[in-house]
């Protein structure tokens, strides 16, 4: 499956699971789901909660049923997680943070 086909399938998904039993930093599945506007159900280990903030869902059984039964919730979370991805993970956001870091080093 190509990268484009994978992204298209992810965009059609009701939600993405990111269930880790050990801390995982820089999870590509979480960031990819965020960029594709797919609601994320995750464990709160590692960097998951830092990436998702309040746009991810961390409890499992109740949440799965809620997402399966509530298309409006799926759409809302998908839109919110995409907005967060654009705010924090876009090249512009990353470039801005990098410039601030460099500037803080130069100012010291």
**Total domain count for the chain?**
1
pLDDT in tens, 4-31: 999 999 999 998 888 776 666 666 888 8
pLDDT in tens, 70-107: 999 999 999 999 999 999 989 999 999 999 999 999 98
What's the pTM value of the predicted model, to 2 decimals? Answer: 0.60
Task: List the CATH number of the domain containing 83.
Answer: 3.40.50.2000
pLDDT in tens, 32-81: 999 999 998 887 766 677 788 888 877 675 777 788 889 999 999 999 99
Using alpha carbons, list the distances in angstroms from residue 83 to 32, 41, 45, 87, 92: 13, 17, 22, 6, 13
- Domain limits for position 59: 3-107
């Amino acid at each position: 499956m190509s990268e484009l086909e994978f992204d298209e399938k992810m965009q059609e998904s009701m939600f993405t699971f990111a269930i880790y039993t050990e801390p995982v930093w820089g999870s590509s599945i979480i960031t990819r789901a965020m960029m594709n506007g797919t609601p994320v159900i995750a464990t709160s280990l590692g960097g998951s909660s830092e990436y998702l903030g309040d746009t991810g869902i961390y409890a499992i059984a109740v949440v799965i049923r809620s997402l399966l039964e509530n298309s409006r919730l799926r759409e809302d979370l998908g839109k919110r997680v995409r907005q967060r991805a654009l705010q924090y993970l876009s090249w512009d956001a990353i470039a801005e943070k990098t410039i601030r870091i460099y500037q803080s080093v130069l100012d010291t």
